[in-house]
Amino acid sequence: MDFSWTEEQEMIRKMARQFAGEIREEAAAAEEKGEFSRTITRKMGENGFLGMCVPEEYGGQALDFLSYLIATEEISRASAGQGMTVGLHNSLVNYPLLHFGTEEQKRKYLKGAATGELLGCYALSEPDAGSDASHIKTTAVKKGDRYVINGTKIFITNGSVADFVIVFTRLDRGGAGTRGMSAFLVDKATPGFSIGTIE
């Protein structure tokens, strides 16, 4: 079995390493101040690092999973926080949108996430359940043609700066474990959506 990288993967590694060198100082300055740099996020999107596994029709690069991991590793050498954003977008944000989102959601949110115009995040962990999905208490109740979501999430990477959130909920309160669970895309501008104190 050959574990060598392809020429394309090696090229991606070099590009990501060069990009990491370009953002190193800016990322360090932002992290020192406790700030999140949307400027760097946009640059990552412009360079194709936020939609690596997303089809071209949605603004992505249509690359393989290993290529995304290589880029994440290289960018993390300069900034663990920015590397986390690359990892988060390519896996926990883009993947569920690509495979389970509606066409409208893909056009509006996936395309923006892949290009860096929008920033997404993933909300699973809760105060009483941690990241144990089988014990989450956040509920989604259908009212007319909408769902009303009630609950609290914690430890949401990029949660305070994201434009939209993929929120995991329980549809069926009687369901045990992972039964009755679903994920919703919630735009930050949705009435009633709020962000608490960052800890």
Strand-pair category, 120-123 with 146-150: unpaired
Q: Which residues pair with 130 in a beta bridge?
A: 126
Give bridge partners of residue 126 from the DSSP assignment.
130
The tens digit of pLDDT for each residue in 95-134 reads 999 999 999 999 999 999 999 999 999 999 999 887 788 8
39 Cβ contact partners less than 8 Å away, ≥ 6 residues apart: 26
Residue with tokens 């020192």: 32
Q: What's the token pair of residue 189?
A: 């501008």
Identify the structural domains of the chain with CATH numbers, from first to last.
7-118 (1.10.540.10), 121-187 (2.40.110.10)
Interatomic CA distance for residues 116 and 111, integer angstroms: 9
| pTM for the structure as a whole | 0.89
Backbone angles phi, psi at 168, to 5 degrees: -90, 135
Region 29-52: mean pLDDT is: 94
